[in-house]
Structure 1
């Protein structure tokens, strides 16, 4: 039980720290009064992911999932509101946010009204959240392949790679302790992609030692 409590706190600290990396983009938008060099979709998809896991945590009565994803969703909403304020492409951003809202409402209707509370509801929601999380962890792979081709890690964030590794590892162990494979399995790709990032830093960071080897970017 003590180890599970330790893992719970590790999940909270590491995950909130990873979500807080978006504050760098928020600071950049405020400083430049523009969202031109900031990506919107990572904020939106992370918010959807947080809300899905928040619902899963509420159904399972898991305080760690509820707390982490409440904070995560609140931060993503803050980033989304800031982006909408500073962006020049308000119509495109509004369309994407509306589509996400429709998707979220449809998912809520299905899981809340069409499925009765119980193991089936929890299993289907866990499966959807797992697939979504795996997709998010694997989405940067195309960029990593391009970095291998170019031999440059300028756009890669070493602090974010460390945060992702610690977060994924803590959630994987947490899910293993609870024997909840919906938590454990989707976080495994995060460990793998983080190790790939570490390898790229080791392999290419010394190519251009006069130039900065990395900078913070939104995952």
Structure 2
């Protein structure tokens, strides 16, 4: 039980830390009064993912999932609203946000009204959340292929790679302890992609370590 509590604390600290990296973009938007060169889609997909896992945590009565994803969804909502405020393409941003809200509404209606409550509801929701999380972890693979082609790690953030590795590992171990494959399995690709990033840093990093070629995370 003590090990499970330790893993729970690790999941909370590492995951909230990873979500907080978006504060870099928030600071940039507030400083420049612009959302140029800021990616909006990751805010939407992460928020959607957080709300899905929050619902799963509520059904499972898992305090760790509830706390982490409540904080995550709140931060992503802040990033979304800030982007919509500072972007020049507000109509497009609001339409994308509306599409996310509609998706949430349809999902909530399906799992709350159509699907029978109990194990079936929990299993189907866990499966959907798992598939969505895996797709998020695998989505940067195209960028990694480009890095291999150019032999440059400028577009990568080493602190974010470390945060992703620690977060994925802690959630994988947490899922193993709970014997919950819906938590354990989708976080395994996060470990793999983080190890790939570490290998790329090791392979293509500069000989002079005082001048890193990667993109740092600054808040």
User: If the TM-score is normalised by the length of the shorter chain, which range does it land in?
Assistant: over 0.9
Could you tell me how far apart the structure 1 residues matched to 2:36 and 2:49 are? 24
TM-score, normalised on structure 1?
Answer: 0.96
Q: Secondary structure at the match of 1:35?
A: coil
Partner of 2:160: 160
TM-score by length of 2: 0.96
The 2-side partners of 1:85 and 1:137 are apart by: 28
Q: What SS class does the counterpart of residue 152 from structure 1 fall into?
A: coil
Give the RMSD, CA atoms, in angstroms: 1.3
Asked if residue 103 in structure 1 is aligned to residue 91 in structure 2, the reply is: no
Within a 5 Å distance, the mapping from 1:29-44 to structure 2 comes to 29-44=29-44
Judging changes above 3 Å, is the alpha-carbon distance between structure 1 residues 87 and 216 closer, same or farther for their aligned structure 2 residues? farther
Structure 1 unmatched ranges of 5 or more: none
Distance, in Å, in 2 between the alignment partners of 1:50 and 1:68 is 8
Contact 1:24 1:216 in 2 (8 A): no
Q: Deviations over 1:37-76 (max 9, x none)?
A: 1100000000000000000000000000000000000000
Q: Unaligned regions of 5+ residues in structure 2, if any?
A: none
Alpha-carbon offset, residue 94 of structure 1: 1.2
Q: Deviations over 1:150-202 (max 9, x none)?
A: 01101100000000000000000000000000000000000000000000000
- Residue in structure 1 matched with residue 206 of structure 2 by the alignment: 206
Aligned to 2:180: 180
Where do 4+ consecutive residues of structure 1 move more than 6 Å?
Answer: 207-210
Counterparts of 1:152 and 1:131, CA distance in 2: 30
Alpha-carbon distance in 2 for matches of 1:216, 1:84: 25
